[in-house]
Structure 1
Amino acid sequence: MDEEITDGYSEPCGQCSLVCWGVSDGGQLFCKNCHNVIERTREVEDMNTLLFNHRISSLSSGKRKRGGREGARDWMVCEGFQLILKHQAEALVDLGVCPQFKTDVLWIFWKRYLQKTKQAYTRNPVNSDRNLVDLISESGEVTSVAFNEASWYDETFSVKRDHTVSGYSSDGRSSVCSGSVDAERYFRRKERKYLMSMSRTLALCHLALLWVREAITLADLLRLVSKGHVPYINAHALFPEEMRFFGKDALIFRVESIPSYRKVHRETMELAALIELPTFPPVSQDCLLHPALLSLRYLMDANLPDKLHEFVCKVIQETYMGEESFLTFDPTGRKPKLLCYDLQAAALIVVAMKLLFRLDDKMEWKLSRKACDKGNQMDQGKKKKKTGKGGKMFSLRTWFMIVQPALERAREKEKHAKAMQQWKSKKPIIQSMKNKTIVQKRRRVVEQLQSTFQALSGSTPEQQTSSPSSFLFLWGDEDGADGPSLRYKCLDCLMIKKQKIWHLVNRKYWHTDLRKCLSWCKEHFSDLEPTLPRMYVWLLGLFSFMLCVEDAQLHSAVIQAEEGEGSHSLSAHIHPHEGGGAG
């Protein structure tokens, strides 16, 4: 095809002196040998000749116009974020989230955010002459706009544009600094706190998921993003062709990492305060965000027995951490606090295991030997049967030997997936129109080198996206399982009967210093971690990997569960003779 288009042009390349021309996607000629781009375009004098012959007879040496906007339209940054939110909402609905999440919740939250920040749906849109902070403080109540689902798909965005915004001139042509008309305003320090960002799109989706009380927690949302099931990395590639993307637009929409759990959680609370949301629907016992149901899911994923769920529910009951008033998010309160429901459920499991096994690197192994001895005695009572009641006894040592290799394989798999992640977009990002030809030339060289390397190594160009799942591990006898399932093991060896009352064999409980500090304090945990029991640290690492959080965050959630409301009644219930304290 290139030979037909370049027929008749036989001038040698100015750099390598070879005649080996090709045509780029932009219609420019480039040398296939040295990738030198020349400013030559096709010239057609007779349309009939083009229609019937389909050949180019001559090439013009005239330079192409730079900065032209043929086929393009003016767009604003908030319009780009709305398009990304639309695709994120559609992806979550395709994964099973109720359709009301997109039409009745996320869209309303987005409109309210635009109103509060005076970017749209207002008679006085924000401009470059006044400070956004002052406008928000003076705005007061804004009349809501009736919802119209077609606005998600409408090519024209309902924003009252101010043509005096920096980056946009009065003659209708955008400046060369960006493709959008208002990218400059997103780099002003005073306004950055209130303006949308890529990580805040996930925070807004998280708020909407909490409102509809879906089972997708923040940890699930971030995992779906990292696996590519929810658009985030290179989401600007979803922009239509008429939305020119270059320059400072890349600094706003381009991301090369997944935001941390802590950052998205903090921005979620900031957005809820900014748009002044009312009290969320209550988190009742039948809600999938309730710690009783979430903990059951994490017990299954960690290959722990179902019997342990009874003790977790007792901990929830004694600490009052299952009450609606405690779980329901109320942004209108005096000190609003958004719970980390997934971290809370995992922390309650860790507390329950500390109550049962102590996890001090001594008691848990004694109980494991006791479980094995009791199992052997019960097996000996069953003639010619290798699997009697003793085979159903849960042993922490056996559980550790099964889960540890699976955890290491999962970590290596995730590490390899991160190394193979393609962070850069397939479309080259033009930082400035002056360097457009250079960027395109580099991209062609990279693509040619990648294709050559893949042909030589025999590797696949792209990884196949795995199907989304609520569980990280697979336990059972199926092919490809991570190990045998311990779900139906019993915990009888952990209980002892005295005076017709059942008590725990473990009579002591230890905890770290309940010092007052900021949540998820890395400095304190890094100093404390060498002194903690290794089994406890390993357990933190297991659930932290499952939730894609840091060990310090989960440790802080465990401390909050231990020192939370009702902790004294928990100690009295579990330790009637010794009370709670370090053992």
Structure 2
Amino acid sequence: MDEELTDGYKEPCVQCGAVAWALSDGLQFFCKNCHNVIERTQEIVDVSTYLLNNRISTLSRSYKKTEREGGQQWMVCEGFQIILKRQAEALVGLGVCPQFKTNVLWDFWKLYLQKTRQAYTRAPVSSTRNPVDLSSESEPESAFLSEASDLSGPTSASVYSSDGKSSVCSGSLDAAYYFDGKERRSRHLMSMPRTLALCHLALLWLREAITLTDLLRLVSKRLVPYVNVHEHFPEEIRFFGRDAVIFRAETIPSYTKVHMESLHLAKILQLSAFPPVSQNCLLHPGLLSLRYLMDANLPYRLHSLVCQVIEKTAMDKDCFLTFDPSASKSILQCYDLQAAAVIIVTLKLLFKLDDQVEWSFSRKAKEKTQESDQDKKEESKQGSKMFSLRRWYMIVQPALEQAREREELVEAKQQWKAKKPVIASVKHKTVVLKRRRVVEQLQSNFCTLAGSDPEQQPSSPFTFHFLWGKEEDADGPSLHNKDLSGMLVKEGREKLLVNKTYWHTDFRHCHKQNCWNHFPDLEPTLPRMYVWVLGLFSFLLGVSEAELHKEVVKVEQRLILGKTLSDKRTQKPQRKRKRAADPV
């Protein structure tokens, strides 16, 4: 408590050499060891004058000296560099190639600083421009005050200079640039979601097996630092006021947000074509779909049909999978979402998933297990090996509900608020620290009464959510070896699907700027089994059902409209030749 009141004054006593200062009733500093009183006093801000005049004409020099004492001048990009370094070290510790940190991510970061003219250039932008002056009526400052209100208690985070203009204090030198929207967009300044986007691009460059959904899951489990990462800043870097808005991260960004930031960063860096995603690469939809089939407890034999759908939709081509930022029409593919979407489309081809056909097929599979005694040995043996969608649903549904409850419980126990409070104003420093001590005391008392550990250990980075088999801790029996022959009919040398029809939603052609999420309006009209399958795979991937449904529609468009579009393109020149050759 004495260290807080003395603002961390660490000068040794002249008489005894001890560093043990306290405040007297007259707010004078005295040594608790030898009771020596020095001339240093604590400064008091006249609250009544502040409330009446709402303006301070001068700023004490000792205040500036106290805030900068023991610290160093630093830029915002240095803070992001520390965050990227810690994220890279965490990923390398989880098994990523060491080149990820030393070569790829570091080169991307240097290239970003050079392209945005923040460093590695003869004329950096920060040295040629002055920080933007944010008046009390400006929009960025008002946004900061509203966001800082729930972070550190009081909303007053302003100090006033001699010219009467107010500005929000910050520990960094160039924090003001990040509060001007025009400056932030024109210079493409870094943000917390963009740190994950830069890591995602580096992982794609090395073709690591960590997809974007895996990266976000590692972030949610605190295995990759992101939430409240400013707590790990060195002591020399003073984190203060305006920096809280720049580096504060109390939520995890969505899949779409990080994916769009990755595409934006790739264009800013002007990267060349990424290494091709071959069939042996773990990012290939063929191998990713096998991983999701195992986690969803679906038969292995379904994988051959999934690969046929991938081939029919031309999603296995290098030109489709390889990302080339220099090409105008190149798209950064969502490899994980595409693999799950192909599985869902294959299930619709087999079982239709319209709340009728799939259950009729399940009844037929059950009837084969209850054949008469004539061919009981053969038929029952074949029927027991046949895959039943009803049985699959009855096994997976309870395990899915338990897994969702576990995820909600773990998320509820997570510490989302920073343990180290961010001081937005020196004036309210004592109040903020006191509130933090009260919160910590209440948390410790509650944990003592509840009998739970206050600190939650980070979970292991498992690839699969479920364990299927006969083990004691398994989530249910395995259906991996079940047969799908009942869903196929032989006609000559080919095997055709028993299900002859296929349904799909309307292929809307919306403009990108005017398009919005149509899934909430569409969801009540969709079959319940299809919605349940969407929910299962969206849980496995950690994305929303709308994002996954959007990828399913894209796969269906390539499967259904792909041939018709190619036929129209080949027929157009033929029609022109016929008209030109017609003499009449």
TM-score tier after normalising by the smaller chain length: 0.7 to 0.9
Aligned pairs for 1:160-179 (under 5 A) are 177-179=169-171
Report the secondary structure of 2:354's partner residue.
coil
Q: Secondary structure of the residue that 2:252 maps to in structure 1?
A: coil
The secondary structure found in structure 2 opposite 1:502 is strand
**Counterparts of 1:4-83 in structure 2 under 5 Å?**
23=1, 26=3, 28=5, 44-47=13-16, 56-58=33-35, 60=37, 62-63=41-42, 66-67=63-64, 68=66, 69-83=68-82
The 3-state SS of whatever aligns with 2:338 is helix
Say if 2:342 is the partner of 1:348: yes
Q: Give TM-score scaled by structure 1 length.
A: 0.80
**Percent identity among equivalent residues?**
60
Q: CA deviation at 1:335?
A: 2.2
Render the CA deviation track for 1:384-411: whole Å, top value 9, x for unaligned: x998443221110000011111111111
453, 459, 472: which one aligns with 1:479:
472
Q: Is this contact kept in 2: 1:40–1:62, CA < 8 A?
A: no
Q: 1:464: Cα distance to partner?
A: 2.0
SS of equivalent residue, structure 2 residue 387: coil
Q: Find the aligned partners of 1:370 and 1:267 in 2 and give their Cα distance.
A: 49
Please name the residue that 1:421 is paired with: 414
Unaligned runs of 5+ in 1: 1-22, 30-37, 133-166, 170-174, 573-583
Aligned match of 1:199: 193
Q: What is the letter of the counterpart of residue 321 of structure 2? A: L
TM-score under structure 2 length normalisation: 0.80
Which shifted more, 189-198 or 293-302?
Answer: 189-198
Does 2:182 correspond to 1:182? Answer: no
8 Å CA contact retained: 1:78, 1:196: yes
Task: Note the alpha carbon deviations across 1:365-389, whole angstroms, 9 max, x for none.
Answer: 1111111222333998566x99844
- In 2, Cα distance between equivalents of 1:275 and 1:316: 31
Higher helix share: 2
**Counterpart Cα distance in 2 of 1:491 and 1:460:** 48
1:538 aligns to 2:532 (yes or no): yes
C-alpha contact (below 8 Å) 1:41/1:62 kept by paired residues = no
Correspondence 1:93 to 2:86? no
Are residues 125 and 49 of structure 1, via their aligned partners in 2, closer, same or farther at CA, if it must alter by over 3 Å?
closer
Contact 2:368 2:379 (8 Å CA) reproduced: no
Pairwise CA distance, 1:70: 2.6
State which drifts further: 491-500 or 400-409.
Answer: 491-500
Cα 1:49–1:484 change in 2 (3 A) is: closer
Distance 1:378 1:518, change over 3 A: farther
Give 3-state SS (helix, strand or coil) of 2:184's partner: coil
Alignment of structure 1 residues 284-295 onto 2, 5 Å: 284-295=278-289
Contact 2:300/2:481, CA 8 A, preserved across alignment = yes
1:135 is matched with: none
1:474 is displaced (CA, Å) by: 1.6
Change (3 A) 1:59 1:358: farther
Secondary structure of the corresponding residue to residue 125 of structure 2: coil
Contact 2:355 2:528 in 1 (8 A): yes
Please list the CA deviations of residues 265-306 of structure 1 after superposition, one character each: whole Å capped at 9, or x if unmatched: 111111001110100000111111100000000101111111
Matched, 1:390 2:367: no
Separation in structure 1 between the aligned mates of residue 515 and residue 281 of structure 2, nearest angstrom: 30
**SS across alignment from 1:464:** coil
Q: Name the aligned partner's letter for residue 46 of structure 1.
A: Q
Post-superposition CA distance 1:4-39 (Å, at most 9, x none): xxxxxxxxxxxxxxxxxxx35x3548xxxxxxxx99
Distance in 2 separating the partners of 1:422 and 1:557: 33
TM-fit CA distance, 1:501? 3.5
Contact 1:74 1:181 in 2 (8 A): yes
Task: After TM superposition, give the deviation of residue 432 of structure 1 in Å.
Answer: 1.6
Matched, 1:450 2:443: yes
In structure 2, the CA distance between the partners of 1:485 and 1:131, relative to structure 1 (3 Å rule), is farther
d(CA) in 1 for partners of 2:548, 2:389: 21
Amino acid at match of 2:497: L
- One-letter amino acid matched to 1:427: K
Matched, 1:376 2:370: yes
Confirm or deny: 8 A CA contact 1:66 1:433 kept in the other structure.
Answer: no
Residue aligning to 2:109: 110
Match of 1:148 in 2: none
CA distance in 1, matches of 2:373, 2:508: 48
User: CA offset at residue 427 of structure 1?
Assistant: 1.1
Does residue 1:563 correspond to 2:557, yes or no? Answer: yes
Secondary structure of residue in 1 paired with 2:428: helix
Deviation string 1:410-442 (CA, Å, 9 cap, x unpaired) is: 112222222222111111111122221111111
Q: Provide the C-alpha distance between the structure 1 equivalents of 2:263 and 2:373, rounded to a whole number of angstroms.
A: 56
What is the distance in 2 between the residues matched to 1:58 and 1:560?
Answer: 77
| Within-5 A mapping of 1:262-301 | 262-301=256-295
Answer whether contact 1:358 1:506 (CA < 8 A) is retained. yes
- 2:244 alignment partner, SS class: helix
CA distance in 1 between partners of 2:395 and 2:106 (Å): 46
CA contact (8 A) 2:12 2:19 kept: no
Matches within 5 A, 1:282-321: 282-321=276-315
Aligned residues: 498
In structure 1, the partner of 2:543 is 549
Tell me which residue corresponds to 1:161: none
Tell me what 2:483 maps to. 490
Aligned residue in 2 for 1:529 = 523
Whole-Å Cα distance in 2 between the matches of residues 200 and 288 of structure 1? Answer: 24
Question: Counterpart of 1:222?
Answer: 216
